[in-house]
Amino acid sequence: MKLSKMHPEDIKAAIRKRFMSVSAFERRFNLPAKSVHDLLRGRHSARVEEAIKSVISQPVSEFSKSEHSEYSQKDGDAHRLNNKTR
C-alpha cells in the first residue's frame, strides 16, 4: 500500500486503532518522537515509512473493534440513564 495515496488523517487513524496513540506507536517501534508527524508533512524517512506500512497491512485486533460491533453489544446493558421506561 502506498502511503502517498492515503490521507494523513487516515494513516493516523489506522495507527491509533492499533496503538491508541501515535506516540505509543513511535515508542513501540523505537522511532524518534514526532517522526510520524514529520513523515506526513513531507520529510522522508524509510524507517518510519516501513514501520507504518507493516502496521497498516495487518488486520485490526479484536480489542480495537467499534463500540457498535457484535463483540461489544453482547457484553452489557444500557446505561442507567438510558434504561428508563417510557
- Mean pLDDT confidence for 64-75: 55
pLDDT tens, position by position, 27-38 = 999 999 999 999
Grid coordinates representing 25 are: 506507536
User: Do residues 55 and 25 lie in contact, with contact meaning Cβ atoms separated by under 8 Å?
Assistant: yes
pLDDT number for residue 66: 55
pLDDT number for residue 25: 94
pLDDT number for residue 41: 92
The domains of the chain are located at: 3-58
Longest Cα–Cα distance of the chain, Å, equals 59
Residue with cell 506500512: 53
pLDDT tens, position by position, 13-66 = 999 999 999 999 999 999 999 999 999 999 999 999 999 999 988 877 655 555
First CA to last CA distance, the chain = 51
Query: Which pTM value belongs to this model?
Result: 0.66
